[in-house]
Amino acid sequence: MTGMTIYKTAETDQEFEQAKELFEEYANSLDIDLSFQNFSKELESIRQQYDQPTGALLLVYKDDLLAGCTGIRRLDDETAELKRMYVRPDFRGFNFGRSLLESAILSASRLGYKKIRLDTLSSMTKARSLYESFGFQAIEPYYFNPIQETIYMERVI
């Protein structure tokens, strides 16, 4: 893979539909049931949750193929939430996750948020290391999650 890499914010219906497919791929890769997060409703309302003025859906393409995504959405006036950070297995190792995270933090700042939160699983050691390298720190739970290994993190922007 030596071709062009493009990072962009989803704007068109087609881009939101592509992201929806990636969200489903991400959910299937977890091997856990996300129904407690109202995942099906999230998919149905993806544009309302992850579009401006309160959110953003970030995509990365490599050689015209969708490689990964992440979204930010509003938790409250000062806090954004990072969701569905996912890079397809064939595209890992190219620092796409790092670039998506950097773009998400910048987007949250541009949207006026003062901090950004996320949740991850303790088994996702690479993701946790990435988040920590960007200054995210463990915090108390900010919503109910029945999965015991969930770790909640936050970073001031």
For the chain, give the percent of residues with pLDDT over 70. 99
First-to-final CA distance of the chain: 33
Q: Where are the beta strands (DSSP E) in the chain?
A: 5-9, 56-62, 65-76, 79-87, 115-121, 137-139, 150-156
pLDDT at residue 6 greater than cutoff 60 = yes
Boundaries of every domain in the chain: 5-115
pLDDT confidence of residue 138: 98
CB atoms within 10 A of CB 12: 8
pLDDT at residue 80 greater than cutoff 60 = yes
35 falls in which pLDDT band (50, 70, 90)?
confident
CATH for the stretch 5-115: 3.40.630.30
CA distance linking residue 56 with residue 70, whole number of Å: 9
pLDDT confidence of residue 2: 63
CA distance linking residue 120 with residue 63, whole number of Å: 29
